[in-house]
Structure 1
Amino acid sequence: MLSHPLADGAELRALEPWRAEEFHAFIERARPHLAPWLPWATAMDDPAKVRHWLTRCAEAQARDGKRIFGIWLDGELVGGIEFASFDPALGTCELGAWLAPEAEGRGLITRAARHLIDWALHTRGLTRVQWRATTANTRSLAVAHRLGMRREGVLRSAFTAGGVRQDVEVWALVAERG
């Protein structure tokens, strides 16, 4: 099994289709916490839908596109992070993340994001890593700030969650190339 340590008892691993039941159980547990920010948390209401989504993610990764990872704490899936977009030809990618409330405050998302940013910029040679979050999602915006990203602006009424149109902040980190 391939994994990357994040902290004592915490690790980052690929979230593959064979983990659909485990991911579905996580979504069921964390749905009230995730749904205000992530429309898929409501849509993924049975293991077959979760498996289909993870299969699409695996197929995208095989085409050198988006990738999805889980975060485990003491052997339990407590969150995840993904390259919501990954385009080597353009040199850009976008990260998105989620975490169960009981795992918050440990720096897991920040550590996972730093690892993926390092891989994207230094191993793959991408130039731009983007982070988007609704203006109300202060925890996510704080992660972007801690990662050294710069706030580039606000996309007004750009996202619907919970049936409500929301503004989205765009943050990015751009690699300095010589």
Structure 2
Amino acid sequence: MFALPLAETAELRPLSPWHAGEFLTHLDRAREHIAPWVGASFVATDLDSAHRVLHRYAEKWANDAGGIWGIWVDGTLVGGVMFVSFDTVSGVAEAGCWLEPAAEGRGLVTRAATRIVDWAIRERGIHRVEWHARVGNVRSVAVARRLGMRHEGTLRGVAPGPAGRIDVEVWAVLAGEWPATTG
């Protein structure tokens, strides 16, 4: 298995179905904090649903349609990044993230997202990487900005949410813009 360093005691690693127990333990710590910002299907509530979430991303990886990586600090899973979608034919991918409160403020998500976006653009030929953030998710928007993404608009009432329809900001970076943000 590979591990990419993100900081002195933090690393980025693939998050696989066999991590379901660790993933569930992490989600139990993060659940209240991330629930307003991620889809209900992501916030697993038992071992079977945790396995299903990770299996769904393993299938995406196997089909070259997405992927998920965990962020570990001192050997503990604290969050991660993913490609919600990944389409090499159209050249468009959507990246995302989540993080438990104890790990915030260290730049871990920005460094992890930089790694996967850079790989998608430089190695896989993705032309456009999108970042979708529910309106009000200032931390997610801050990551999009640090990645050099531009706000392209807000999709109003795009999906059902616990308190009614939700609005989602769409941010993106194009391959030709990416070297300026990473080099």
Regarding TM over 0.5, the answer is yes
Q: What are the Cα deviations for residues 106-133 of structure 1, in whole angstroms up to 9, with x where unaligned?
A: 0001001111111000011110000010
Question: Identity percentage over the alignment?
Answer: 51
Q: Which residue of 2 aligns with 1:149?
A: 149
Q: Say which SS state the counterpart of residue 89 (structure 1) adopts.
A: coil
How far the C-alpha of 1:42 sits from its partner, in A, is: 7.4
Give the letter aligned to residue 109 of structure 1: V
Displacement, 1:57?
Answer: 1.2
1:49-74 superposed Cα distances (whole Å, 9 cap, x missing partner): 11122112111211111101110011
The reply on whether 1:160 has 2:164 as its aligned counterpart is no
The equivalent residue for 2:176 is 176
Is 1:16 equivalent to 2:16 in the alignment?
A: yes
Structure-1 residue corresponding to 2:131: 131
Are 2:32 and 1:44 aligned?
no
Cα distance change of structure 1 residues 77 and 161 upon mapping to structure 2, 3 Å threshold: farther
SS in structure 1 of the partner of residue 176 of structure 2: coil
Equivalents in 2 of 1:16, 1:83: separation in Å? 14
Equivalent positions of 1:47-66 (< 5 A) are 47-66=47-66
1:118 is matched with: 118
The letter of the residue matching 2:32 is: P
Tell me how far apart the structure 1 counterparts of residues 159 and 12 of structure 2 sit (CA, whole Å).
28
Name the CA distance, whole Å, in 1 between partners of 2:167 and 2:154. 7
Stretches of structure 2 that go unaligned for 5 or more consecutive residues are 178-183
**Shift in CA distance, 131/102, structure 1 to aligned 2, threshold 3 Å:** same
* Partners of 1:162 and 1:4 in 2: CA distance: 36
Aligned to 2:7: 7
Measured after TM superposition, the shift of residue 163 of structure 1 is 3.5
1:124-147 deviation per Cα after TM superposition (whole angstroms, max 9, x unaligned): 111000001011001100110111
The answer on 1:77 being equivalent to 2:69 is no
AA at the equivalent of 2:174 = V
Quick one: which amino acid aligns to residue 78 of structure 2? V
- TM-score normalised by structure 1 residue count: 0.95
Partner Cα distance (1:42, 1:82) in 2:
12
The answer for unaligned runs of 5 or more in structure 1 is none
RMSD between aligned alpha carbons? 1.5
CA distance in 2, matches of 1:163, 1:2: 41
TM-score normalised by structure 2 residue count: 0.92
Tell me the SS of whatever aligns to 1:141.
helix
Rounded Cα–Cα distance in structure 1 between residues aligned with 2:108 and 2:129: 18
Count of aligned residue pairs for this structure pair? 177
